[in-house]
Amino acid sequence: MKHLTPKETFDFLNTHKDAVLIDCRSEFEFLFVGHPVGAILIPWYDGIDWDLNPHFIGEVRMAASHDRPVILICRSGNRSREAGKALEEAGFAHVCNVLHGFEGELDDQHRRGTVSGWRFDGLPWEQC
Residue 102 has pLDDT above 90, yes or no: yes
**What integer pLDDT is reported at residue 63 of this predicted model?**
95
Under CATH, what is the fold of the domain 2-126? Oxidized Rhodanese; domain 1 (3.40.250)
Confidence band for 96, pLDDT divided at 50, 70 and 90: very high
Cα separation, 103 vs 121, whole angstroms: 10
Is 82 exposed, middle or buried (CB count within 10 Å of its CB: 0-12, 13-18, 19+)? Answer: middle
**What integer pLDDT is reported at residue 69 of this predicted model?**
97
Indicate the helix (H) or strand (E) that contains 125.
strand 125-126
Confidence band for 48, pLDDT divided at 50, 70 and 90: confident
**What integer pLDDT is reported at residue 67 of this predicted model?**
86
Q: What is the mean pLDDT of residues 5-31?
A: 97
pLDDT tens, 71-95?
A: 999 999 999 999 999 999 999 999 9
Q: Are 126 and 23 in contact (CB under 8 A)?
A: no
Percent of the residues in the chain that have a pLDDT greater than 90, as a whole number: 90
Q: What is the mean pLDDT of residues 94-114?
A: 94
First-to-final CA distance of the chain: 30
**What integer pLDDT is reported at residue 65 of this predicted model?**
82
Q: Where are the domains of the chain?
A: 2-126
Backbone angles phi, psi at 9, to 5 degrees: -65, -45
**What integer pLDDT is reported at residue 66 of this predicted model?**
79
Residue 46 has pLDDT above 90, yes or no: no
